[in-house]
Structure 1
């Protein structure tokens, strides 16, 4: 005989199956809401946009105010480079605000160039979608800024991108967290790379002050010009070379053909930044003179070799690629 299932029993089975399916759907929705639609997930999503250099998407999600400045670090490859040193980023479990049940605080922990850091985000519930899924919006903030300062140059490199300076300063809005590096290198001047980690909004800019140093090529140019100036002085076959910092005084008669100057010791070049300009420290050198003197009373001849230690100064006119040296004792370029 064929087994028959009564209609009530079949309906009961279908009802049980529908209940199980509904329970699974609700459970899946709850799990999804706690993960894909959580405040922590919103923070992770923000970080993913920053890693991808998607500044517009990140700014739209964060809803932040962008302060005045050079926006080069807010999008594209430069944004990617500011995030390259941010690793192991993980948003911690959201904490409910004691003052407002709709507000959550999320702390993200990460490493910035290997150093443990953290950033804090505040999000507000804006309701639900499809009955189950929470919606979150970041509380409005103003993006932090980095101020780059450098003397003697009008352009620096920030996270691999050259940017102009106005009176030696440029201010850049940045996302957080981020690592901003700045440096510059020209023919005459350079500054080692310096970086700052920005972990959150701040009232004052984070400063990068680059220390300018003359390049070896710059010092070599000055050295060559100073030596050339002294060599030209030494080439003059007179006791007091014109426009030069050394001379020889004597009451005896001297045959000009016996006069021979040479530079026994050239000055050491030292350049310092003072009062808004590069200045050359006083130059010390030694000249040697060989000559034959004739005594005016006896007429006797005497070969002599004398040394003259002397000092002088020179004015510098510099740019990032050129340098002019003008000794105070004369003029030389």
Structure 2
């Protein structure tokens, strides 16, 4: 009996030692500060928005959770920490369809701070670009009484203040969005790390894509997307302007009605005036003063007039056969269903 008791005591000791060793190993890896952040980054890499939000203890507002594609449960938010940042901006970009690609995640630095928190830095490849982020975490109790739990000191959230000029529509990583107001900077809450290719493409407008990266928890990133008229819009307006001027040239008067050109004369005309367009104005478009409008600035052009005239002094007849210079300007308004309204702007 004594021998068996000794044997069982040794076995029990070995089991306890193995358990303690396992706990120490697990707490130093999976349940370490680095392991906690790695789990969060891994969820982002899988585009598992629900897990990323759960790990980082970020709770979306009810109205967002009910309509988004993130799959997270809808729970109220508080007014501190992650909650205060969520209240600071739109949540439109907090969805899997707008997430980045995240590869080659590697822990590169770990610091134990004097207040007991830990700061860890990870390198990774974010949408093809080498990047890094630093997170500070703190202990948040234990699981099963032995495994360490952690939480972020600063929530892994950032604010992207995006200004879309000359439009309200933009795309981020292929998903379409609309800003709340025209021409004003709009705040969007995003997860750290995130990277967005922001652009605009529509029937008559375009924008060179910009890259916006958010890799610093708690920071604010500012970005501006400049939307301009595309080649299709310029060509469309050029055709309309040319057709309008050609129509003006059909009038057999010296001062065509409602047209930007004309030629007053003191002598009497003998033949009907014949107009043609010598040089059409080259269309270029800049943003108008009102939303959805574009302006062709005052641009030089020339019409050609041929008409026989009789001098009121000596009665002689001569031919006026010259170019008549003029300028013109047009306002272009974007209408529903991709229609353009082109109206001439007459000088005051």
Match of 1:308 in 2: 324
CA drift of 1:139 comes to: 2.4
Aligned length: 316
CA drift of 1:291 comes to: 2.5
The question of whether the paired residues in 2 share the 8 Å contact of 1:188 and 1:217 is answered with yes
Match of 1:3 in 2: none
Cα distance between partner residues in 1 of 2:148 and 2:196: 35
The question of whether the paired residues in 2 share the 8 Å contact of 1:314 and 1:325 is answered with yes
Match of 1:141 in 2: 155
RMSD between superposed Cα atoms in Å: 2.8
| Correspondence for 2:212 among 196, 215, 228 | 196
> Which structure has more RCO (C-alpha within 8 Å, separation ≥ 6)?
1
Residues 1:31 and 2:25 aligned together: yes
Alignment of 1:179-328 (within 5 A): 179-202=195-218, 205-257=220-272, 259-273=273-287, 275-276=289-290, 278-295=294-311, 301-319=317-335, 321-328=338-345
Superposition TM-score, scaled by structure 2 size:
0.80
User: Structure 2 regions of 5+ residues with no counterpart?
Assistant: 58-81
Cα distance between partner residues in 2 of 1:239 and 1:128: 93
CA drift of 1:110 comes to: 1.8
CA drift of 1:268 comes to: 0.9
Cα distance between partner residues in 2 of 1:241 and 1:47: 70
Alignment of 1:78-97 (within 5 A): 78=98, 82-84=99-101, 86-92=102-108, 94-97=110-113
The question of whether the paired residues in 2 share the 8 Å contact of 1:105 and 1:122 is answered with yes
| Correspondence for 1:52 among 17, 26, 46 | 46
The question of whether the paired residues in 2 share the 8 Å contact of 1:61 and 1:138 is answered with no
Residue 19 to residue 270, structure 1, CA distance change in 2 (3 Å) = same
CA drift of 1:94 comes to: 3.5
Cα distance between partner residues in 1 of 2:313 and 2:18: 127
In our comparison, the structure showing a higher alpha carbon Rg is: 1
Out of 302-311 and 123-132, give the one that drifted further: 123-132
The question of whether the paired residues in 2 share the 8 Å contact of 1:264 and 1:288 is answered with yes
The question of whether the paired residues in 1 share the 8 Å contact of 2:171 and 2:177 is answered with yes
Match of 1:69 in 2: 89
The question of whether the paired residues in 2 share the 8 Å contact of 1:279 and 1:316 is answered with yes
Match of 1:4 in 2: none
Residue 315 to residue 74, structure 1, CA distance change in 2 (3 Å) = closer
Superposition TM-score, scaled by structure 1 size:
0.83
CA offsets per residue over residues 149-200 of structure 1, 9 Å max, x none?
A: 1133232222222222222243211110111232212222221221211112
Residue 223 to residue 107, structure 1, CA distance change in 2 (3 Å) = same
CA drift of 1:206 comes to: 1.4
Cα distance between partner residues in 2 of 1:250 and 1:130: 101
The question of whether the paired residues in 1 share the 8 Å contact of 2:335 and 2:341 is answered with no
Cα distance between partner residues in 1 of 2:146 and 2:25: 10
| Correspondence for 2:187 among 171, 192, 213 | 171
Residue 135 to residue 242, structure 1, CA distance change in 2 (3 Å) = closer
